[in-house]
Structure 1
Amino acid sequence: MAADPLAWWRRRSLRFRLTAAASAVLAVALAAAASLLVGVLGRALIGSTDGIAYQRAREVAALADDGRLSDPVAVADGTIIQVLDAHGRITHVTAGADRLVPLVSARDRATSPGEGRGRFVDGDLYGIPGPLRVVVVHADEGRTVIAARSFKDVADSLTTTVHMLVIGTPMLLVLLGAAGWLIIGRTLRPITALRRGAAEISGTARAHRLPVPVARDEVQELAITLNGMLARLEGAEASQRALISDAAHELRSPLASIRLQLEVALGHPPDEQEWRETAEGVLEDTMRLSRLAEGLLTLARLDEHRRPARRQPVDLAELVGTTAGRYDPAMVKITGVEPAVVEGDALDLGRVLVNLLDNAVRHAGARVAVELRARGGEAEVTVTDDGPGIPEADRERVFNRFTRLDSARSSDDGGAGLGLAIVRETVRAHGGAVRLEDAGPGVRAVVRLPLSRPVPGRAKP
């Protein structure tokens, strides 16, 4: 099996990869910049040399046209001048210039690159060291003026510049790479602090928080997000411990009752013990355990999925009528129903109504009212009892798991305190909300669910 060519790269540290990538990009940029610099500088120097030679050639051509040209030609800046007549013979030159051989052959003069543009000529052929930059200008009466300037000093300057760039660019690259290594290291230092802080957090020390850097950057946002996650995990762990503790407490009572009844029954002779009465007591406690287990399983499923097990249109009007019809009509009254359809699980929504009605019937004095209304894109189900009510300070607390008020705890059929918790989690899973209000007297439970579509043709009772 062929090895992954990028495996070695992936195994390197983030600091190394960032530095290497930045250095590679910087090396390409520096090489391109150096090449561009040499090219632009060379073209500028060539253009400057051609410009001076062309200017001198134009001056000499003007003197020749006026008949004022001297021999030798006097040029102060070292430009070499050759003046040729119409037959290609050299008639005038600067001091020291060749009088026999033109710097540019007749064929090359005929194919001049353009007015003011020069060409390179090897100066060694004419006893002049280094290359020459030659410009040809045509004058009157077929005369031709050739102006040449030595390019040796310019070429030496370009060579020196190239050598400096060849030596200096790698040194600059190394210097910038080292600076990048240090800067990236300091930039990644908060991440290292986060890693060390995370390593110090154990399963029993989640109250610790990761260090938050001062800089308002992505690392700070990451630290804040991770601390928020730790807080949520800590809260979930505390909630789980409380749930286990409360569940154990709730299980202890029926189990202790079952054990006591069985011990009493076994401690008496068979003819003196009423086994039917003992069986009824054990069955009651067993049913209590069953309801508790069912409630815990329901909450566990809601915590795991956070959404309905099935999503289908649910006719709330029909569900309210069917569920309320299971109770004593003298106690539970339907005061109003409007057509309303929601998306969700009919069994879960039916359990919500059953829990609310059971709770209302348990605490009601004489009457429980059920109502369904469709308002502003939401279905609103209210269950109102005329019981003693719930203090305002406790109306939110009763939705917590295993939370029962003192009046409920004193009653044998008060339940385990999971009913309203199941109601809230189920309604939230369906995208709704539930709250308790004062009914004066009594309590009104209000459930709001988003409507899916109306059910046409349903009459109000």
Structure 2
Amino acid sequence: MADSPLVWWRRQGLRFRLTVVAAAVLALALAISASVLLTVLDRALIGTVDDSTRQQAQTVRVQADAGTLTSPIATHDGTIVQVIDERGRITDVTYGADRLVPLLDARARAEVLRDGQATFLDGRPYAISGPLRVVVISADHGRTVIAARPIGEIQTSLGTAGRILLIGTPMLIVLLAVASWLIIGRTLRPIAALRRGAAEITHTARSRRLPVPESRDEVHSLATTLNDMLARLEEAEQRQRALVSDAAHELRSPLASIRLQLEVALGHPEGQDWPETAEGVMEDAMRLSRLAEDLLALARLDERGGVPARSEPVDLDEVVRQTVDRYGEARLTVCDPVVVRGDALDLSRVLTNLVDNAVRHTSSKVEVALTADGVLTVTDDGPGIPAQDRERVFNRFTRLDSGRSRDEGGAGLGLAIVRETVRAHGGGVHLEDASPGLRAVVRLPVVR
């Protein structure tokens, strides 16, 4: 089954379609322009003849009214003039004009006088080649002046102009089509370069970038945008690879511990304390479970692209009270009513991770405060974190030496989850010195 014209058109290349459209638009514009030009030229030339003929007729009328007409009537532009009396007889004519038959009969003269406009007349019955333009004017004593002028030269000129346009217009269209084909091809050359550059980028050449044209046009903007996208994709891939590598490294320790405990227990079952072994395996299993939950949380944050799971009003003060009530070591000092927009479960996880870190490192107390401007702080009186490490601890799988030496330490994902979640809610988080201890400060936009 043959494709429809629309389907065929859509399958053509952009260069071909642009060239055809440009040529078609030019052809239409030239056709309209030629038609308007010939029409205006025709009306202008005919109007000039009408004015000249009417002026000559007025001159003859004035002479007839004054009784100064000469026979034959003298004209200098080839105008044919007949003066007809009230009885329809021709009394005066120009040289060579018919003295017996008027150019217009009585009825035709009356119609032209009534309309006040010149009319066309075939000159062949009067031995005049070509058409005539005829004007009729009334004179005194019932006389009528008929003035006519041949317009064959005008029609010849218009025909010549039409033939020139008929030949020249297709040539202009072909010239423009060729020029458009070349210009569009040159314009699309950077896009072809982008296509070739994109085809050369593979999984083994991820760091390559697309060629950026020198011209500051739309193609330059497209190339820049695509390179930025490639940079973001490369960064995301590197982060994903780093996450997988770090996750595999973190999984090795509890899995190796579980395997070792089970191998020892199975190798010496008679002297093994099975409840103690089960507790050790359970502890490592819980570490694996917490790591899996953290990895799943980070994966969901990455999948959403920095957007919270839900966007609904959340009473942050209620979330803070419910979270702090689960910790005996934590004390709520300030809790002003605050409403933010986001996901209550994610915000609760943020506070839980911060309080867990504070309880793990505090010496005696943990203080939580929420002010009306959306600032949430969690303060402990532990050893704190050096200033040069306070930003680094927000990276994934980052643990300081003190945290690595503690069995109850996490995998270094808690603060990374906090920052990603807070950013998804349009806020920010940082650590500062509490003298003594450390203070985590979370700022969230408040719904007014």
Structure 2: 5+ residue stretches without partners:
none
- 8 Å Cα contact 2:81/2:148 also seen in 1: yes
Instruction: State the SS of the aligned residue for 2:205.
Output: coil
What's the CA shift for 1:38?
0.7
User: Secondary structure at 2:27's aligned position in 1?
Assistant: helix
Change (3 A) 1:86 1:314: closer
Task: State the partner residue of 2:378.
Answer: 383
Matches within 5 A, 1:237-248: 237-248=237-248
In the other structure, the counterpart of 2:17 is 17
- The separation in 2 between residues aligned to 1:260 and 1:113, in whole angstroms, is 124
CA contact (8 A) 1:54 1:116 kept: no
> Deviation of residue 452 (structure 1)?
4.2
1:281 aligned residue: 280
Corresponding residue for residue 157 of structure 1: 157
Q: CA deviation at 1:113?
A: 5.4
Q: CA deviation at 1:5?
A: 4.4
**Aligned residues of 1:435 and 1:446 also touching (Cα < 8 A):** yes
Structure 1 segment 62-141 matched on structure 2, within 5 A: 62-112=62-112, 117-141=117-141
Q: Which residue of 2 aligns with 1:326?
A: 326
Q: Tell me the distance in 1 between the aligned counterparts of 2:72 and 2:339.
A: 112
For residues 95-115 of structure 1, what are the alpha-carbon distances to aligned partners after superposition, in whole Å with 9 as ceiling and x for unaligned? Answer: 111111111111111111568
Deviation per CA, 1:228-271, whole angstroms, max 9, x where unpaired?
Answer: 1111101100100110111111111112222223333344x333
SS in 1 for 2:137: strand
Equivalences for residues 57-456 of structure 1 within 5 A: 57-112=57-112, 117-267=117-267, 269-305=268-304, 306-328=306-328, 331-375=329-373, 379-452=374-447
In 2, Cα distance between equivalents of 1:238 and 1:423: 21
The ranges of structure 1 where at least 4 consecutive aligned residues each deviate by more than 4 angstroms after the TM superposition are 1-5, 113-116, 310-313
Determine the C-alpha separation between the residues in 1 that align with 2:422 and 2:68.
110
Distance 1:249 1:368, change over 3 A: same
CA distance in 1, matches of 2:3, 2:174: 31
Shift of 1:449: 2.5
**Structure 1 residue 147: Cα displacement:** 1.4
Contact 1:81 1:97 (8 Å CA) reproduced: yes
2:84/2:145 contact within 8 Å kept: yes
Counterpart AA for 2:351: L
Q: Structure 1's 299 and 290: CA in aligned 2 closer, same or farther, altered over 3 A?
A: same
* Counterpart code for 1:275: W
Whether the aligned pair in 1 keeps the contact of 2:113 and 2:136 (CA below 8 Å) is no
Residues in 2 aligned to 1:310 and 1:83: alpha-carbon distance in whole angstroms? 99
Q: Specify whether residues 145 and 256 from structure 1 end up closer, same or farther in structure 2 by C-alpha distance, changes over 3 A only.
A: same
1:459 aligns with: none
Deviations 1:5-52 (A, max 9, x none): 411111111112222222222222111111111110000111111111
Query: How many Å apart are 1:221 and its aligned residue?
Result: 1.7
Q: Deviation at 1:116?
A: 6.8
Residue type of the alignment partner of 2:264: V
Q: Secondary structure at the match of 1:6?
A: helix
User: Is the Cα–Cα contact under 8 Å of residues 57 and 145 in structure 1 kept in the other structure?
Assistant: yes
In the alignment, the residues of structure 1 paired with residue 315 and residue 393 of structure 2 have an alpha-carbon distance, to the nearest angstrom, of 28
Mapped partners of 2:220, 2:311: distance in 1 = 40
How many residue pairs were aligned?
A: 447
What are the Cα deviations for residues 273-301 of structure 1, in whole angstroms up to 9, with x where unaligned?
33333333222222111111111111112
Query: Aligned letter for 1:386?
Result: D
> How far has the Cα of 1:215 moved from its partner?
2.3
| Higher mean displacement: 316-325 or 159-168 | 316-325
Tell me the TM-score normalized by structure 1.
0.91
How far did residue 186 of structure 1 move? 1.9
Instruction: Report the Cα distance in structure 1 between the residues aligned to 2:58 and 2:343, rounded to whole angstroms.
Output: 99
Deviations 1:53-91 (A, max 9, x none): 111111122222222211111212211121212211111
* Residue identity (%): 67
Give the AA of the match of 2:250: E
Per the TM alignment, residue 432 of structure 1 is displaced from its structure 2 partner at its CA by 2.7
